[in-house]
Amino acid sequence: MNGTLRPQPSDVVRLDAVRKIYRGSKNRVAALDGVTIGLRRGSFTAVMGPSGSGKSTFLHCAAGLDQPTSGSVWLDGVDLAGLRERALTKLRRDRIGFVFQAFNLLPALTVVDNVTLPLRLAGRKPDRAEVDEVIERVGLAERRRNRPGELSGGQQQRVAIARALITKPAVVFGDEPTGALDTHTAREVLGLLREAVQWAGQTIVMVTHDPVAAAHADRVLFLADGQLVGALDQPTADQVAERMTHLGAWAQQRSTRPATQGTAHGRHA
């Protein structure tokens, strides 16, 4: 594995030997199996891998939504294992932005009120100029007073992006942020995320199944069976698709092998 993936103290997200084991009545699944990685501030990272490879678990552990079974996660210099639930909730609210496949906007609130909600929940007074700027950046200046039901899917995802950016978080985590959008709209939304990296120095980590989406990132990380098995810098969609085809075939082979005793990696035995 490329040595530059080793976490550095300056990295905004650091995972060190992270394992996440799920225990069922009959089996154990190692959803993450010794993941060590550092993500640079101001970088755009895509996380890919076959179904069940651990992408969501990676995102949840990195964002403090789930606790690793062992290993450590550092976010913006804070060791998440040292935080109680309340402090963790505060850290997620103050330092992390989320963009999901389902836009998760509040239907009764206007665009402006949806965007400023995280600030108000944190007891912070929205700065008018900053709110205007972020809404303008995502191209919704004319839609400030509209409600989500009056917007297209792409516009709703733009609101969600503005809402994620408004707190100036250390990291924005995206879980299939373009999964519900058509190709053209998805490209616009990805362009917007890319711009946020450029104009705001925003760090973004995005799970995706789509090689075209992943090609908007600076680096793609590949997971298979809960392990980090490779990375591509400045990827093209074709390179990503090719790597995924190999990983898919490999995962397929493993899943058709007779189950062995012990821990299943990224799949149920």
Ligand X SMILES: Nc1ncnc2c1ncn2[C@@H]1O[C@H](COP(=O)(O)OP(=O)(O)OP(=O)(O)O)[C@@H](O)[C@H]1O
Sites of contact with ligand X (CB under 6 A): 22, 29, 31, 49, 51-57, 266-268
In terms of phi and psi (left: phi > 0; alpha: psi -120 to 50; beta: otherwise), the region of 14 is: beta
Q: How far is CA 117 from CA 126, 241, 262, in A?
A: 9, 38, 46
CB of 66 to ligand X, least distance (A): 9
CB of residue 41 to ligand X, shortest distance in Å: 25
Kindly state the smallest distance separating residue 252's Cβ from ligand X, in Å.
Answer: 14
- In terms of CB distance, is 10 or 51 closer to ligand X? 51
Query: Would you say 250 and 224 are in contact if contact means Cβ atoms under 8 Å apart?
Result: yes
In the complex with ligand X, which residue's Cβ is closer, 26 or 125?
26
Phi, psi of 175 (to 5 degrees): -110, 100
Name the residue nearer to ligand X (CB basis): 195 or 250: 250
Instruction: Return phi, psi of residue 48, to 5°.
Output: -130, 165
- The minimum distance between CB 106 and ligand X, in angstroms, equals 26
Shortest separation between residue 206's beta carbon and ligand X, angstroms: 13
Q: Which residues contact 64 (CB under 8 A, 6 or more apart)?
A: 73, 75, 80, 83, 88, 91, 92, 96
Nearer to ligand X, 210 or 218 (CB): 210
**Cα 68 to Cα 17: distance, rounded to the nearest angstrom:** 10
Considering the complex, state which of residue 63 and residue 140 has its C-beta at the smaller distance from ligand X: 63
**Which one, 156 or 227, has the nearer CB to ligand X?**
227
Q: How far apart are CA 149 and CA 73, in angstroms?
A: 38
Say how far apart CA 123 and CA 128 lie, in whole Å. 15
Please list, residue by residue across 114-143, b when 16 or more beta carbons sit within 10 angstroms of its beta carbon and e when fewer do. Answer: bbbbbbeeeeeebeeeebebbbebbebeeb
* Between 52 and 148, CB nearer to ligand X: 52
Q: How far is the CB of 245 from ligand X (least distance, A)?
A: 16
Question: What minimum distance in Å lies between the beta carbon of 65 and ligand X?
Answer: 12
Helix axes 183-200, 153-165, angle to 10 degrees: 20
